[in-house]
Structure 1
Amino acid sequence: MVHVREMDGADIEAVSTIRVRGWQAAYAGIVPQTYLDAMTVEGDAGQRRQLFSQPRRKSRDLLALGDRGPVGWICFGPYRSEMSGLGRVGEVYALYVSPGLIGQGIGRRLLGEAHARMKSQGFESSALWVLCDNQRARRFYERAGYQADGATQDDVYDEITLTELRYQRVL
């Protein structure tokens, strides 16, 4: 049984562990291994503490808790750039589940809770970005009602350019 609650400052180390291990598992063979190997929980936690302590932070973080503690995390908020003509758009910035627990409904539960909270905040739709080569994530989001809308952006990891696709769905 998984319980979802708001993340607090005491959860930063656990969230960073989930995020770094999630990156290393999900992006192996996609993102250069040198980049993945250089990721540390300590480094991520430092960045997360900075983000989390910003007084005007608009993002929200939810934590999924299992029998043994944190098992998943989602971060969402307003869409980070203009999408004119599409109404009020929220964005899922990040969603990670402990790699050994993927496929047990934790991500689906976190995403559903984020959708409900975005809708209650007046957002009409949700968008997110996913690496083009991350087929598992693309299937997950498509099953959740997201569709690629044709927008792309490039990110560079250790001098390797990777393309992300934007996905959207109505809330």
Structure 2
Amino acid sequence: MTQPLAKRFPVPPIDKLPEDIRTRLLAVQEKSGFIPNVFLTLAYRPDEFRAFFAYHDTLMDKESGLTKAEREMIVVATSAANQCQYCVIAHGAILRIRAKNPLIADQIAVNYRKADITPRQKAMLDFAMKVALEAYVVSAADFVALSGHGFSDDDIWDITAIAAFFALSNRLANVTGMRPNDEFYLMGRVPK
């Protein structure tokens, strides 16, 4: 019988982790009430944990021409295309909260083309999906189309980097057997 993936890459005990990682895990737990499984899974490789979250935070938390909700839209749409249950569920929860819309994450995960989003956001997701699934066909016409919706070159870089980064994340989550925490399923669906 094949060993389950979760057993292949064990979660280290929190008290055995390097101080900086343990501090981050406990801060996340304090803020959200639980430790998302992505933190626990990636703690298996501390140096990669640090690099992953440094890039994640740079992409997802900075000020830019994309709102934080739009960044989460990119994650949810591309993660659905990559069949990453963890990222669709976890980032779907964050999207619902950031967009203040309990329906949007499900709409985008199932079919962003029919979601209640703006034409600008649809163009953003069209491009993000191209980056995630067939970046080799990106052309100058894509930049013209995005510019026509008001995206700057920096915005286009951000769309590209988020789609590419989460392609990496999707693959790690799928191979490690990372499961979404139960807490994510209800977040942002009902008022507190």
Q: Could you tell me the TM-score, scaled by structure 1's length?
A: 0.30
Identify the structure with the greater strand proportion: 1
Considering only CA atoms, is the larger Rg found in Structure 1 or Structure 2? 2
Identify the structure with the greater helix proportion: 2
Relative contact order, higher structure (CA 8 A, sep 6+): 2
Q: Could you tell me the TM-score, scaled by structure 2's length?
A: 0.27
